[in-house]
Structure 1
Amino acid sequence: MSPAPPAAALEVSGLSHSFGARQALRDVGFRIAPGDFTALLGLNGAGKTTLFALVTRLYHSRQGRVTVFGHDIRRQPSAALAAMGVVFQQSTLDLDLTVRQNLAYHASLHGIAGSRARTRIEEELERVGLADRRDARVRQLSGGQRRRVELARALVHDPALLLLDEPTVGLDIESRRFLIEHVRHLCRQRGLAVLWATHLIDEADDTAKVIVLHQGQVLDQGPVPEVNVRAGVTTLRATFDTLTGQRQEGGGR
Structure 2
Amino acid sequence: MHKETSGNGSRPAPVLTVKDVSYWYGTKQALDDVSFEVYPGKVTALLGPNGAGKTTLFSLITRLFDAPEGRIEICGKSASEWGARALGPLGVVFQQPTLDLDLTVKQNLRYFASLRGLSRKEADGRMLRALEALDMQERINERVRALNGGHRRRVEIARSLLHSPKLLLLDEPTVGLDVPTRSAIVSHVHNLARTGDIGVLWATHLFDEVEPNDDLLVLDRGRIVARGTAKDVVADTGAKDLGGAFKLLIGGEAEKDIAA
Q: Same-fold call, TM > 0.5? A: yes
Q: Distance in 2 between matches of 1:80 and 1:235?
A: 38
Alignment of 1:1-253 (within 5 A): 6-245=12-251
Identity of aligned residues (%): 47
Q: Report Cα offsets for 1:153-208 as digits up to 9, x if no partner.
A: 00011111111000110001111011100001111211111111001111112121
Count of residue correspondences: 245
C-alpha change, 1:140 and 1:71, in structure 2 (3 Å) is: same
Greater relative contact order structure (CA < 8 Å, 6+ sep):
2
Q: Report Cα offsets for 1:26-73 as digits up to 9, x if no partner.
A: 111101111111110011211111110100001111111111110212
Q: Normalization by structure 1: what TM-score?
A: 0.92
Q: Report Cα offsets for 1:86-132 as digits up to 9, x if no partner.
A: 00000111111111111111111111022111111111111111111
| Kept after mapping to 2: 8 A contact 1:71/1:77 | no
Misfit runs of 4+, over 2 Å = 4-7, 77-80
Question: Once the 2 structures are TM-superposed, how far is the Cα of residue 247 of structure 1 from its aligned partner?
Answer: 9.1
Match of 2:3 in 1: none
Q: Distance in 2 between matches of 1:188 and 1:80?
A: 24
In structure 2, runs of 5+ residues without a counterpart are 1-9, 255-260
| Kept after mapping to 2: 8 A contact 1:67/1:80 | no
What letter matches 1:59 in structure 2? F
| Kept after mapping to 2: 8 A contact 1:95/1:139 | yes
Q: Normalization by structure 2: what TM-score?
A: 0.90
In structure 1, runs of 5+ residues without a counterpart are 249-253
What letter matches 1:14 in structure 2? D
Q: Distance in 1 between matches of 2:216 and 2:94?
A: 19
